[in-house]
């Protein structure tokens, strides 16, 4: 195993012992597993029915203990906002609310039209803005569809067929066609 | 009979509109091949939309259909 990798692993596992191992690291390596800790701490805390943290929660609290040993404050109170701070306890700057971690978008943020759908909306007199708003806002109310597109959405007199994601683009929905329902 | 329409190769959809197609009132229902559009007052079919058109329509017909015309509003 290369020496640098070994040192990195060693630093990650011995973080609870203090910063001694981190100080031995080469300058190019992170002084602690900051990225890994962020990922761990931003996982949701889940509990079992009796309120005890499950395995994921336990792992999180283990991470908290490790974080505390590195002068990082972490509160796990379930009644109050959970915050992680990269500064010493008592400092108010640099905190992150882990109840709202950086999240991947689950629905479309914008809309793309096929040429066909764009022209058809114009011909039928469908307000494109309304259709786009419906797709973005009411994506959770969509139905699965078989046929021209992945999803189906009813909005006023219109039935809208669209794909989401649009290829690899998780932020975009692609409207394939629409029609006025009976 | 006059027929309007287009073929969008990106969506692979062909749309045909026949005489008496009134875009203000036309309604549609799904059929196996796509959509059947009809006049709600008369029940007459006034339009057809083909999904996966390249598999369902003759290549010569698709070649005759123009692409969708995106007009820019003044």
Domain spans of chain B? 4-64
Alpha-carbon distance A154 to A142, whole Å?
8
CA distances A50 to A57, A64, A79, A142, Å, are: 13, 22, 16, 35
By Cβ distance, the residue of B11, B13, B27 closest to A180 is B27
Handedness of CA A119, A121, A122, A123 (dihedral sign): positive
Domain ranges of chain A: 3-97, 110-180
Please count the other Cβ atoms lying within 10 Å of the Cβ belonging to residue A136.
15
* pLDDT band at A113; cut points 50, 70, 90: very high
Pick the residue with more confidence: B6 or A69? Answer: B6
By Cβ distance, the residue of A114, A179, A182 closest to B8 is A114
CB of B54 closer than 8 Å to CB of B62: yes
In Å, how far is B19's CA from the nearest CA of chain A?
Answer: 15
Pick the residue with more confidence: A154 or A98? Answer: A154
Whether a cis peptide bond, with omega within 30° of 0, leads into A165 is yes
- Residue B68 near chain A (CB below 8 Å): yes
Residue A70 in tokens: 């590195």
* pLDDT band at B1; cut points 50, 70, 90: confident
**pLDDT at residue number A80:** 42
Residue B17 in tokens: 């509109």
A110-113 β-sheet, strand order: A110-113, A172-180, A158-163, A151-155, A143-144
CATH number listed for the domain at residues A110-180? 3.30.2310.20
Q: Which residues of A lie closer than 8 Å to B, measured between beta carbons? A: 114-120, 122-125, 147-148, 159, 176-177, 179-182
Dmax (CA) of chain B: 38
Q: Is the pLDDT of residue A34 over 70?
A: no
CA distances A22 to A11, A17, A34, Å, are: 6, 10, 12
Residues 6+ apart with CB under 8 A from B27: A179, A180, A181, A182, B37, B38, B40
Buried b (16+ CB within 10 A) or exposed e, A96-131: bebeeeeeeeeebeebbbbbbbbbbbbbbebeeeeb
- Residue B56 near chain A (CB below 8 Å): no
Residue showing tokens 């701490």: A41
Percent of all residues in chain A with a pLDDT value above 70, rounded to a whole number: 42
Residue A99 in tokens: 């109840």
CB of A111 closer than 8 Å to CB of A173: yes
Alpha-carbon distance A19 to A34, whole Å?
13
Q: Is the pLDDT of residue B28 over 70?
A: yes
Query: Helix or strand or coil: residue A68?
Result: helix
In Å, how far is B27's CA from the nearest CA of chain A?
Answer: 5
């Amino acid at each position: 195993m290369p020496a640098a990798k070994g040192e990195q692993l060693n630093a990650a596992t011995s973080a609870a012992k203090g910063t001694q191992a981190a100080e031995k690291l080469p300058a190019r390596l992170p002084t602690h597993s900051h990225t890994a800790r962020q990922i761990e701490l931003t996982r949701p805390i889940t509990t079992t029915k009796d309120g005890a943290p499950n395995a994921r929660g336990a792992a999180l609290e283990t991470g908290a203990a490790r974080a505390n040993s590195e002068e990082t404050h972490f509160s796990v109170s379930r009644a109050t906002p959970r915050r992680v701070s990269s500064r010493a306890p008592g400092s108010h700057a640099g905190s992150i609310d882990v109840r709202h971690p950086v999240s991947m978008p689950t629905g479309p943020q914008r809309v793309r039209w096929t040429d066909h759908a764009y022209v058809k909306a114009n011909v039928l007199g469908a307000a494109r803005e309304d259709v786009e708003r419906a797709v973005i806002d009411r994506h959770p109310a969509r139905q699965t569809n078989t046929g021209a597109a992945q999803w189906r959405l009813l909005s006023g007199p219109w039935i809208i067929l669209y794909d989401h994601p649009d290829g690899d683009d998780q932020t975009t929905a692609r409207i394939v066609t629409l029609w006025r329902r009976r | 009979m006059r027929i309007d329409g287009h073929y969008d190769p990106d969506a692979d959809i062909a749309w045909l509109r026949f005489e008496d197609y009134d875009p203000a009132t036309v309604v549609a229902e799904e059929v196996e091949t796509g959509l059947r559009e009809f006049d709600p007052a008369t029940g007459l079919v006034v339009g057809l939309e083909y999904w996966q058109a390249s598999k369902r329509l003759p290549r010569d017909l698709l070649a005759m259909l123009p692409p969708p015309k995106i007009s820019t509003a003044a």
